[in-house]
């Protein structure tokens, strides 16, 4: 099937919810991808921070193959070892409480919202409210969507769920003002990803933690993009001045397979009871086996140190390029702010032609999310390609 | 065959099965209730013990760090957000918002350093982060308390 045939098939049968780039990928290995015409690409996008251990990591492939050949699915009405072991691994590496598995990040956020609302009802709050920062992205199911201020403005999809409000990013005073008697939770990303990589500053994080302490609300950190080693520690909150009550994870957790999780501390882990929540597929044996293999790779101090060091090298290289105004983020989660007048979308398309995949979340921002397993040669190559592209796109 | 030796007349199947099921359900419910009670009691005890132990370890560690940095005038220092915040005593002078923010910032800086150390960051990395996030130019005290003095 040619690319044109594939595009025609896609256009006829798939809902038009995505605008795809004109490339068909057929193979991946480590940091590299190959398209249907044999062209090689350096992947600094990783399926939006999913393939953090690189494409087709042998340990993940082996774990998936072994588990798929033995047992794939029995539902959550029975015990399976991979799920229980994964829950232990996630809880013990973070908040020490309990885990609810889901099939995606947005579903993990739904679980967190349920915990927050039920926790609030127990405190006598009839109409609980969840506070987020403007620019946050928490997902596309209705609860998570309602907590995503920009997307929640889409009236064609309304009405949104009631009980959500937002304050300007990093405005600690506005956050303190917004959190009150009705607040069930503060739900924020430690680093805003979809918005273009904007870290939450320490004052705002501390304000969120303190406001939650004072009101009894829960602090929920959405670590769907920042977690699983992306910022150079297993969880991004470990490089901040707060510890959440609940965190959500997904994306990189399954190494390419769909899985999410809502992880709590001991107290929040006691909120949901039988019948409150569920999922047919979640925590299935195959995805759980994959996630355990991913954690074996990522939860390694040497690899996490490499993430921080290569992230710093990538940042330094980018800052040395003409056309780069600033580099935001931490570890290997970097947003490249371009000089005014440069068109990030055009540069993203040009980089694709040159064999480098990057994401363009905003008109003047490139988002770089390479595999955590890359090496310094990949960093050098990406910086060189971006430099060439900036030069060529800024020429009159 | 005497009437006594005759097998008793079989009861209708449905009645027999229903009675047996009722007996089984009753026994199962009793057993389940007992198991649930035991399990809940055991789980509750285990949870309480685990929480108490976790609170004790974290509080001790953070108190040791805090005391070394800034010895308390009196009484035990509360670990940042990991233990309940004490209500102010009625005769305590109300703290200014700036003082409160400063105290929170200090606690936040210590928690940041502890979490970074636990997650494998180096002394230099923690120092840089304290400088950028909290404008702490001399972080030696915090770092020595958490990581031990430099050689």
Look at A3-17, A166-180, B69-83 and tell me which has the smallest mean pLDDT.
Answer: B69-83
User: Helix/strand/coil (H, E, C) string of A61-92?
Assistant: HHHHHHHHCCCCCCCCCCCCHHHHHHHHHHHH
Q: Which of A107, A371, A110 is nearest to A256 (CA)?
A: A371
Between CA A185 and CA A240 the distance in angstroms is: 19
**ipTM topping 0.90:** no
The answer to whether A251 and A279 are in contact (CB under 8 A) is: no
CB contact under 8 A, A301 and B111: no
Q: What is the mean pLDDT of residues A116-134?
A: 97
Give the H/E segment covering residue A289: helix A285-298
A391 pLDDT more than 80: yes
The residues with which A32 forms a beta bridge, in sequence order, are: A29, A42
Considering CB atoms only, which of A241, A242, A308 is closest to B125? A308
Neighbours of B146 (CB within 10 A): 22
The answer to whether A191 and A221 are in contact (CB under 8 A) is: no
CB contact under 8 A, A239 and B129: yes
The answer to whether A166 and A133 are in contact (CB under 8 A) is: yes
Between CA A337 and CA A136 the distance in angstroms is: 18
The residues with which A333 forms a beta bridge, in sequence order, are: A330
Between CA A3 and CA A395 the distance in angstroms is: 31
The answer to whether A233 and B121 are in contact (CB under 8 A) is: yes
Q: What is the mean pLDDT of residues A335-340?
A: 96
> Phi and psi (nearest 5°) for A127?
-125, 80
The model's pLDDT over A179-233, given as tens digits with 9 standing for 90+, comes to 999 999 999 999 999 999 999 999 999 999 999 999 999 999 999 999 999 999 9
Q: Report chain B residues whose CB lies below 8 A from the CB of A308.
A: 121, 125
Separation in Å, CA of B15 to nearest CA in chain A: 32
- 3 state DSSP class of A260: strand
Considering CB atoms only, which of B81, B85, B120 is closest to A304? B120
Q: What pLDDT was estimated at residue B52?
A: 56
To the nearest 10°, the Cα dihedral for A270, A274, A279, A280?
140
Considering CB atoms only, which of A213, A237, A304 is closest to B81? A213
B87 pLDDT more than 50: no
Q: Report chain A residues whose CB lies below 8 A from the CB of B122.
A: 305
B2 pLDDT more than 60: no
Burial track A221-231 (b if 16+ CB lie within 10 A, e otherwise): bbbbbbbbbbb
CB contact under 8 A, B112 and A202: yes
The model's pLDDT over B3-56, given as tens digits with 9 standing for 90+, comes to 444 444 444 444 455 665 565 556 555 555 554 555 555 555 555 555 555 555
Look at A332-341, A345-354, B124-133 and tell me which has the smallest mean pLDDT.
Answer: B124-133
Query: How much is the mean pLDDT over chain B?
Result: 61
Q: What pLDDT was estimated at residue B41?
A: 59
Tokens at A159, concatenated:
């009405």
The residues with which A55 forms a beta bridge, in sequence order, are: A30
Q: What pLDDT was estimated at residue A185?
A: 98
Q: What pLDDT was estimated at residue B12?
A: 47
Neighbours of A145 (CB within 10 A): 20
B54: nearest CA in chain A?
A96
CB contact under 8 A, A239 and B119: yes
Instruction: Report chain B's terminal Cα–Cα distance, integer Å.
Output: 102
- 3 state DSSP class of A144: helix
Give yes or no: A164 in active site: no
B112 pLDDT more than 80: yes
CB contact under 8 A, B81 and A243: yes
B112: nearest CA in chain A?
A241
Residue that wins the pLDDT comparison between A310 and B120: A310
Give yes or no: A133 in active site: no
Considering CB atoms only, which of B54, B108, B122 is closest to A241? B108
- 3 state DSSP class of A24: coil
| Residues 6 or more apart in contact with residue A338 via CB below 8 angstroms | A323, A324, A325, A344, A347, A364, A365, A366, A390
Contacts across the A-B interface (CB distance below 8 Å)? 65
- Which residues of B touch chain A, with CB atoms under 8 Å apart? 47, 50-51, 54, 81-82, 85, 101, 104-105, 108-109, 111-112, 115-116, 118-122, 125, 129, 133-134
A136 pLDDT more than 90: yes
String of DSSP letters for A163-227: SEEEE-TT-HHHHHHH-STTEEEEEE-SEETTTT-EEPPHHHHHHHHHHHHHHT-EEEEE-TTTT
Query: How much is the mean pLDDT over chain A?
Result: 97
Residue that wins the pLDDT comparison between A270 and B60: A270
Considering CB atoms only, which of A238, A241, A266 is closest to B109? A241
A261 pLDDT more than 70: yes
Q: What pLDDT was estimated at residue B42?
A: 56
Q: What is the mean pLDDT of residues A86-109?
A: 98
Q: What pLDDT was estimated at residue B11?
A: 45
Neighbours of A70 (CB within 10 A): 10
Q: Is the pTM of this model over 0.95?
A: no
CB contact under 8 A, B51 and A266: yes
Assess A214–B contact: CB distance below 8 Å, yes or no.
yes
The answer to whether A102 and A250 are in contact (CB under 8 A) is: yes
Separation in Å, CA of B112 to nearest CA in chain A: 4
Long-range contacts of A167-172 (CB under 8 A, 24+ apart): A167/A131, A167/A132, A167/A133, A167/A134, A168/A133, A168/A134, A169/A133, A169/A134, A169/A135, A169/A195, A169/A198, A169/A200, A169/A204, A170/A133, A170/A200, A170/A201, A170/A203, A170/A204, A171/A204, A172/A203, A172/A204, A172/A206, A172/A207
Q: What is the mean pLDDT of residues A123-132?
A: 97
Q: What is the mean pLDDT of residues A11-21?
A: 96
B104: nearest CA in chain A?
A206
Considering CB atoms only, which of A210, A243, A301 is closest to B111? A243
Separation in Å, CA of A95 to nearest CA in chain B: 11
Which of B51, B108, B123, B126 has the highest number of chain A CBs within 10 A, making it the mutation to test binding with A? B108
Between CA A296 and CA A67 the distance in angstroms is: 16
- List the alpha helices (DSSP H) in chain B: 13-69, 97-118, 123-134, 140-147
Look at A56-60, A66-70, B49-53 and tell me which has the smallest mean pLDDT.
Answer: B49-53
| Residues 6 or more apart in contact with residue A301 via CB below 8 angstroms | B120
Give yes or no: A137 in active site: yes
Between CA B16 and CA B104 the distance in angstroms is: 71
Which of B56, B106, B113, B120 has the highest number of chain A CBs within 10 A, making it the mutation to test binding with A? B120
Task: From residue A255, give the alpha-carbon distance in Å to each of A218, A250, A297.
Answer: 29, 10, 10
A238 pLDDT more than 70: yes
Annotated catalytic residue, options A137, A164, A265, A350: A137
Q: Residue A94: pLDDT band by 50, 70, 90 thresholds?
A: very high
Annotated catalytic residue, options A222, A245, A265, A350: A222
A188 burial class (0-12, 13-18, 19+ CB within 10 angstroms)?
A: buried
Separation in Å, CA of A210 to nearest CA in chain B: 8
Considering CB atoms only, which of B47, B108, B119 is closest to A238? B119
Between CA A80 and CA A35 the distance in angstroms is: 37
Q: Residue B79: pLDDT band by 50, 70, 90 thresholds?
A: very low
Separation in Å, CA of A365 to nearest CA in chain B: 23
Between CA A128 and CA A119 the distance in angstroms is: 9
Between CA A97 and CA A78 the distance in angstroms is: 21
Tokens at A272, concatenated:
């949901």
A312 burial class (0-12, 13-18, 19+ CB within 10 angstroms)?
A: middle
Give me the residues of A, 6-45, that contact B with CB < 8 A: none
Q: What pLDDT was estimated at residue A167?
A: 98
Which of A216, A241, A269, A316 has the highest number of chain B CBs within 10 A, making it the mutation to test binding with B? A241
Residue that wins the pLDDT comparison between A393 and A77: A77
Q: Report chain B residues whose CB lies below 8 A from the CB of A213.
A: 81, 85
Between CA A285 and CA A278 the distance in angstroms is: 16
């Amino acid at each position: 099937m040619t690319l044109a045939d594939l595009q025609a098939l896609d256009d006829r049968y798939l809902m038009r919810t995505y605008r795809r780039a004109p490339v068909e990928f057929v193979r991946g290995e480590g940091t590299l991808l190959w398209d249907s015409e044999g062209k090689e690409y350096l992947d600094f996008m990783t399926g939006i921070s999913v393939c953090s251990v690189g494409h087709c990591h042998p340990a993940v492939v082996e774990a998936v193959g072994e588990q798929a050949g033995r047992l794939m699915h029995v539902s959550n009405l029975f015990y399976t070892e991979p799920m229980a072991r994964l829950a232990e691994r996630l809880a013990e590496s973070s908040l020490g409480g309990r885990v609810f598995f889901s099939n995606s990040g947005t579903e993990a956020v739904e679980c967190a919202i349920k915990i927050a609302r039920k926790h609030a009802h127990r405190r006598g709050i009839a109409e609980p409210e969840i506070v987020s920062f403007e620019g946050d992205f928490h997902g596309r199911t209705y609860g998570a969507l309602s907590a995503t201020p920009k997307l929640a403005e889409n009236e064609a999809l309304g009405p949104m769920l009631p009980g959500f409000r937002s304050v300007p990013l990093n405005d600690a005073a506005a956050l303190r003002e917004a959190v009150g008697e009705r607040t069930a939770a503060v739900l924020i990303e430690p680093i805003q990803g979809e918005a273009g990589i904007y870290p939450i500053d320490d004052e705002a994080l501390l304000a969120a933690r303190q406001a939650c302490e004072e009101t009894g609300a829960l602090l929920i950190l959405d670590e769907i993009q920042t977690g699983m080693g992306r910022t150079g520690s297993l969880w991004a909150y470990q490089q901040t001045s707060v510890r959440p009550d609940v965190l959500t994870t997904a994306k990189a957790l399954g190494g390419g397979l769909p899985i999410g999780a809502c992880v709590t501390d001991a107290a929040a882990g006691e909120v949901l009871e039988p019948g409150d929540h569920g999922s047919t597929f979640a925590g299935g044996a195959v995805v759980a086996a994959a996630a355990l293999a991913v954690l074996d790779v990522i939860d390694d101090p040497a690899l996490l140190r490499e993430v921080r060091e290569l992230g710093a090298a990538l940042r330094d290289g980018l800052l040395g390029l003409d056309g780069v105004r600033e580099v935001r983020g931490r570890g290997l989660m970097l947003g490249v702010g371009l000089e005014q007048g440069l068109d990030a979308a055009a540069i993203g398309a040009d980089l694709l032609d040159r064999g480098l995949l990057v994401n363009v979340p905003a008109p003047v921002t490139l988002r770089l999310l390479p595999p955590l397993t890359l090496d310094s040669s990949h960093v050098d190559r990406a910086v060189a390609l971006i430099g060439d592209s900036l030069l060529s796109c800024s020429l009159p | 065959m005497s009437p006594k030796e005759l097998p008793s007349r079989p009861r209708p199947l449905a009645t027999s099965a229903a009675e047996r099921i009722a007996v089984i359900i009753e026994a199962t419910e009793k057993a389940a209730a007992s198991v649930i009670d035991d399990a809940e009691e055991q789980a509750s005890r285990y949870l309480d013990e685990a929480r108490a132990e976790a609170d004790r370890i974290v509080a001790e560690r953070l108190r040791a760090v805090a005391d070394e940095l800034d010895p308390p005038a009196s009484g035990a220092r509360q670990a940042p957000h990991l233990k309940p915040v004490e209500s102010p005593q009625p005769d305590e002078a109300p703290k200014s918002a700036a003082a409160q923010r400063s105290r929170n910032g200090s606690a936040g800086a210590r928690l940041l350093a502890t979490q970074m150390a636990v997650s494998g960051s180096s002394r230099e990395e923690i120092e840089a982060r304290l400088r950028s996030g909290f404008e702490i130019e001399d972080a030696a005290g915090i770092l020595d308390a958490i990581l031990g003095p430099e050689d």
